[in-house]
Amino acid sequence: MLRPLSPAPPQLRALLLLLPVAGCAHEAESITPLVATASQPAPLASPAAHDPSVTAQPLPAAPPLPASAPPLSPSEALATAPEAPPRAAAPLPIREEARIQLQPARARTSGNLVEGTVSGVAFFGPRSELLVGGGNDDRIHVAEIASGRARWTSPTLGKDVEAVAACGEHLAGLTYEGRLALYRQAPGGRFERSDDRRSGGSNWLAFTDDCAHLLTPDFLGPLFIYDRRSGALVAELPADGYRNFGYARGQTVYRARLAGSERYFLYTWDPALTPARGATTLLPYTYEDDALGWLTQVKPTPWGGLVREYCDRQRCRVILEDRRIIVDFEVAGGVWTLALGSALEISADGAYLAWYRDGLPVQIVELLSGRRTSLPKVRRTMSSTVHFTFDPLDPARLAVTMHPEPHLVTIYRLGDGPSP
């Protein structure tokens, strides 16, 4: 007479369930019988193997493992993260300091008399007491900020001065046709002409920190670095279709095609190096991001980091990863393409970020507090869209073109502090 068997341990039941499966999956392999050891008792024989009257009961199914969500990728984490710091309920204080005329109210361009429009602006002078502007009357204009009085106007330089830059006693203007005009302010206040250079024609222009070289791209093409004194081309970066260059602390970022895809590269300028005059580093960012949208631009920051902007059809997300700052801007109503980045500038002290998309108002964010403000929306003209720049010596000052009229530039003061 058979004695009833005690229930098999759970480990044994699982082992007995798996053995037939293993035997079917590996028919050609021999199965080594288990041997009892001090830590592993020998398996008990099944009662059905000796007495046909005893029926083996099916083993209960193992309970399913609890489902766990896969970990978020870095892009998904950035896409779903809240803004940081969160938006403040109180607005960012802003007040108007000056309005400067840097183009005539009516300008003749391409044979037509149209609205005068300022296309580019820069602070100039040892105390940022002057403002430089260029536009569709084909000239560079310099005016005093305190009085608004015009100080100097260049001769006609060709079709539309689209960008200006200033460094020390030097200033430069770049025309639509790629003419790069250089001037120097002499000790007596006069402006002396340097020889013109021939560039590729674009709307971005910058000096290196020592004022000895200029950076400007070809239209949808390479980024060139010229020697200011000789005009010689000293470096060429193979940018391909990228427009949103920036320069800060010897660094710039460009985009180029690598192995069939668009990639971003950090270029660190060093005039002592030859022949490339710098070092290039491939950045680990993808041009198209499933979670975040299009990576529309990467720019250097004044403190040596990088700022990235991703855009889709609902928002543009600006990320300062090294400072753990995330700022969102809604894009409904804008006139733009997904692949083209916004106008984006950061003040020299890292306190403020200004952002603009064609068809939307200029928005300014105080990065530490999350306070924001928006300027009155202005219509674009046939010649230009809004351009702005922070004062490098007084970062709470922001000069904005086309406010409130296309031929004017308005200087705003941001924050709670008094005017100096």
Measured between alpha carbons, how far is 298 from 252 in angstroms, rounded to an integer? 9
Res 48 pLDDT > 50: no
pLDDT confidence tier of residue 71, bands split at 50, 70 and 90: confident
Q: Which tokens in the block code for residue 367?
A: 């990065």
- Residues 290-303: tens digit of each pLDDT: 999 999 999 999 99
The pTM of the whole model exceeds 0.75: yes
Which is more confidently placed, 47 or 320? 320
Residue 365 CB coordination number (10 Å):
27
Res 7 pLDDT > 70: no
The residue length of the chain stands at 420
- Residues 370-411: tens digit of each pLDDT: 999 999 988 777 667 899 999 999 999 999 999 999 999 999
State the pLDDT at residue 250.
95
* 8 Å CB contact between 244 and 299: yes
List of E strands, 125-185: 130-135, 140-144, 150-153, 161-167, 170-175, 179-185
Measured between alpha carbons, how far is 309 from 341 in angstroms, rounded to an integer? 7
**217 three-class SS:** strand
Q: Which CATH number fits domain 90-414: 2.60.40.10, 2.60.40.420, 2.130.10.10, 1.10.1740.10?
A: 2.130.10.10
Which residues, other chains included, contact 53 with Cβ-Cβ below 8 Å and sequence gap of 6+? none
Boundaries of every domain in the chain = 90-414
Give me the residues paired with residue 121 across strands. Answer: 133
- Residues 271-284: tens digit of each pLDDT: 888 777 899 999 99
State the pLDDT at residue 27.
40
- Residues 178-207: tens digit of each pLDDT: 889 999 999 888 999 887 676 666 789 999
